[in-house]
């Protein structure tokens, strides 16, 4: 017999959902059969699976250890967490500075992404145990493209994941990026349009009007910080957060990001590859501004987090004479 005391990270979900995590190799029919036969009970009583769990609930699973192990499998992919660049950490949230070239989350089973590194870190630091990973695993809340660097939020508790996801969804958390684009921009501007994704090519198209039911409204605001007559350093506020939004939106107005293979200027990209060894877009998630937060994550309320620019990004700014003073104003 196995007894589970529902933890903080397990509360707030249905009983059958939690059972499916512990007995992840068992069929739904098997789980419901065990519930009907009272081989699985909740707080000493028969349950049907749709009960919402609260912290401290007691679940008893009357199966032999051999049978339980047969239907339960924890898969934790080994990863090196020693290179995580942690900007902020508490019991619920990690804010990281992701390098260009690293996946936010895996694209195929064999990938090692920031998620695997965060899981490994929580194990090594004792934030979570292998047993706790049966029912809850940390995940990233915002996703950066593989070749975009900068601030990445990971929830290391259920409340952390849920709160950060809510702030991102309702757009009360503001996200700012630095990028270098081809051409000269001199005026602050908010640009709008519709983004449509081609799932076959994994590219997006920007139009003034929707072209299909999948077209999504987008808004992007930028402030020019410096230009050298050929390129412009921008600070970008990602008002809406869609796939490849900043990259495709700037390219659609004739100012693609330097180094962007999908949406950029091939000739300029080749020049930068030869001159600087640049093999990714110069796009960096530099700052996060939290709104007022009440409740369990109130320690993050109205805080701002900044990720330093990568060395190559700084080198290009300096050598291309794109250094700037502080041109941002209150939004």
| Coil, helix or strand at residue 324 | coil
Please name the residues in contact with 298: beta carbons below 8 A apart, sequence gap of 6 or more: none
pLDDT in tens, 98-148: 999 999 999 898 899 999 999 999 999 999 998 899 899 999 999 999 999
DSSP string, 232-255: EEEEEEESS--TTHHHHHHHHTT-
Please name the residues in contact with 261: beta carbons below 8 A apart, sequence gap of 6 or more: 147, 269, 281
In whole angstroms, give the CA distance from residue 196 to residue 244.
10
DSSP string, 62-74: ---HHHHHHH---
* pLDDT at position 231 over 50: yes
| Coil, helix or strand at residue 111 | coil
Would you call 292 exposed, middle or buried from its count of C-beta atoms within 10 A (0-12, 13-18, 19+)?
exposed
User: What is the per-residue pLDDT for 74?
Assistant: 82
- Region 64-93: mean pLDDT is 92
User: What is the per-residue pLDDT for 324?
Assistant: 79
pLDDT, the chain, mean: 94
User: What is the per-residue pLDDT for 325?
Assistant: 62
In whole angstroms, give the CA distance from residue 286 to residue 330.
17
User: What is the per-residue pLDDT for 165?
Assistant: 94
- Other Cβ atoms within 10 Å of 139 Cβ, number: 19
Task: Check: CB of residue 269 under 8 Å from CB of residue 258.
Answer: yes
- Region 289-294: mean pLDDT is 96
- Other Cβ atoms within 10 Å of 168 Cβ, number: 16
Query: Where along the chain do the CATH 3.10.290.10 domains lie?
Result: 2-71
In whole angstroms, give the CA distance from residue 162 to residue 174.
17
Q: How confident is the model at residue 34 (pLDDT cuts 50, 70, 90)?
A: very high
User: What is the per-residue pLDDT for 331?
Assistant: 40
Positive or negative, the CA dihedral 207, 212, 214, 217 is positive
- Region 169-175: mean pLDDT is 95
CATH superfamily name and code, 86-169: Pseudouridine synthase (3.30.2350.10)
- Region 283-293: mean pLDDT is 97
- Name the nearest CA neighbour of 219 among 195, 200, 193, 243: 193
- Region 199-213: mean pLDDT is 94
Query: Where along the chain do the CATH 3.30.2350.10 domains lie?
Result: 86-169, 174-319
In whole angstroms, give the CA distance from residue 312 to residue 196.
32
Q: Which one-letter DSSP state was computed for residue 146?
A: T
CATH topology of domain 174-319: Pseudouridine synthase (3.30.2350)
CATH among 3.40.50.300, 3.10.290.10, 3.40.30.10, 3.90.950.20 for 2-71: 3.10.290.10
In whole angstroms, give the CA distance from residue 280 to residue 303.
30
């Amino acid at each position: 017999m196995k007894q589970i005391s529902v933890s903080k990270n397990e509360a707030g979900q249905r009983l059958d959902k939690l059972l499916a995590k512990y007995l992840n190799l068992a069929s739904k029919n098997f789980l419901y059969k065990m519930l009907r036969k009272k081989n699985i009970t909740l707080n000493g009583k028969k349950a049907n699976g749709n009960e919402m769990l609260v912290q401290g609930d007691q679940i008893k699973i009357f199966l032999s250890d051999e049978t339980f192990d047969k239907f339960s499998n924890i898969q934790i992919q080994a990863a090196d967490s020693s290179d995580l660049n942690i900007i902020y950490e508490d019991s619920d949230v990690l804010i990281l500075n992701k390098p260009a070239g690293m996946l936010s989350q895996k694209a195929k089973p064999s990938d090692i992404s920031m998620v695997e590194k965060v899981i490994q870190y929580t194990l090594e630091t004792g934030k979570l145990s292998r047993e706790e990973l049966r029912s809850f695993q940390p995940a990233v809340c915002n996703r950066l493209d593989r070749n975009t660097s900068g601030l990445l939020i990971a929830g290391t508790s259920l409340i952390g994941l849920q709160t950060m996801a809510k702030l991102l969804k309702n757009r009360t958390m503001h996200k700012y990026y630095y990028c270098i684009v081809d051409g000269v921009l001199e005026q602050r501007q908010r640009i709008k349009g519709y983004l449509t994704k081609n799932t076959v090519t994994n590219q997006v198209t920007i139009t003034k009007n929707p072209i299909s039911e999948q077209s999504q409204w987008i808004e992007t605001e930028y402030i020019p910080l410096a230009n050298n007559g050929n390129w412009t350093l921008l600070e970008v506020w990602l008002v809406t957060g869609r796939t490849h939004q900043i990259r495709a939106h700037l390219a659609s107005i004739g100012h693609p990001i330097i180094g962007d293979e999908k949406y950029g200027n091939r000739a300029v990209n080749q020049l930068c590859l030869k001159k600087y060894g640049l093999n990714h877009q110069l796009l960096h998630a530099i700052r996060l501004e939290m709104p007022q937060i009440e409740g369990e994550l109130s320690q993050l309320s109205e805080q701002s987090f900044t990720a330093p620019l990568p060395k190559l990004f700084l080198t290009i700014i300096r050598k291309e004479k794109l250094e700037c003073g502080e041109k941002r104003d209150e939004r």
